[in-house]
Amino acid sequence: MGKRIFGLTGVIGSGKSTVAAIFAEMGAKIVDADALSRYVTSPDYENYPALVDRLETVLGKKTLDATGRPLRTPEGIDRKALANLVFNDSESLKLLNEMIHPEIHRLFLREVENARGIVIYDVPLLFENNMHSMFEAVIVVYAYPEICAQRAAFRSHQSVSEIKKRMDRQISIEKKKEMADYLIENNSDISVLRSQVRAVWEEINNGNKKNIPD
């Protein structure tokens, strides 16, 4: 059996990580784009010195965010400082993505080179980065926007309003719901979520394409 690659996405607080973990229990190989991004911005990455030099050059003298956090630390790039730096600067964000995304994509290809069976790539900004054509189909984890914001605020110790500002910069969960090939709703308890993941797992293993639930 060769490999078949599916995208998994949602918004912050929708429950992608939980769904990915359930798919892993069922036998899928999970590749986490956030984990790859953390690796790329750490000194452990083989291309880190060149990447961080390019980053500082492209961002010019903006090596500190508004709070005074240094961009480069002994542990790697301070991702929160970097996020603060580009949050309201669309040009810097575009340049950052142009540097980081090819590195992440190269690592993804390396991860799945020898994979067999179902591969699920967990990508928060899948639609925003026009990645849907990479996959056989896209699975969207959906929860009501207010529930997503509350979950994310609780997990990150940020305010709901701060989380909503982040969400407003992305394609809405309602729009992603419309764009899904497979839909998993995460508005209830874990047993309901597991049954929906199981239903999608059976669908993709049968080679079907159908939104779940109806």
Q: Is residue 130 part of a domain?
A: yes
Average pLDDT over residues 161-165: 91
- Give Cα separations from 179 to 37, 102, 211 (angstroms): 25, 24, 10
User: Which two structure tokens, joined as six digits, stand for 149?
Assistant: 């914001």
What one-character DSSP code corresponds to residue 122? E
The pLDDT-based confidence of 8 (bands split at 50, 70, 90) is: very high
Q: Which residue has the higher pLDDT, 165 or 119?
A: 119
At residue 29, the 3 state secondary structure works out as: strand
Q: Which residue has the higher pLDDT, 168 or 213?
A: 168
What one-character DSSP code corresponds to residue 63? -
CB neighbourhood size of 13 (10 A): 25
Burial of 146 (0-12, 13-18, 19+ CB in 10 A): exposed
The residues, ordered by sequence, that sit 6+ positions from 54 with a Cβ below 8 Å of its Cβ are 99
The pLDDT-based confidence of 181 (bands split at 50, 70, 90) is: very high
Q: Is residue 57 part of a domain?
A: no
Which residues constitute the domain of residue 26?
Answer: 3-41+103-205
Q: Is residue 54 part of a domain?
A: no
CB neighbourhood size of 46 (10 A): 8
Written as one letter, the residue type at 65 is D
Q: Is residue 82 part of a domain?
A: no
Q: What would you report as the CA-atom Rg of the chain, rounded to the nearest whole angstrom?
A: 18
Q: Is residue 93 part of a domain?
A: no
The pLDDT-based confidence of 190 (bands split at 50, 70, 90) is: very high
- Give Cα separations from 73 to 80, 99, 134 (angstroms): 12, 19, 34
Please report, for the domain that includes residue 191, its CATH number: 3.40.50.300
Q: Indicate whether 158 pLDDT > 50.
A: yes
One DSSP character per residue, 147-186 reads HHHHHHHHHHT--HHHHHHHHHTS--HHHHHHH-SEEEE-
Q: Is residue 182 part of a domain?
A: yes
Q: Is residue 128 part of a domain?
A: yes
What are 113-123's pLDDT values in tens digits? 999 999 999 99
User: pTM to 2 decimals?
Assistant: 0.88
Average pLDDT over residues 98-125: 94
- By the 8 A CB rule, do 193 and 22 touch? yes
Q: Is residue 142 part of a domain?
A: yes
Q: Indicate whether 10 pLDDT > 60.
A: yes
CA–CA separation, 143 and 63 (whole Å): 37
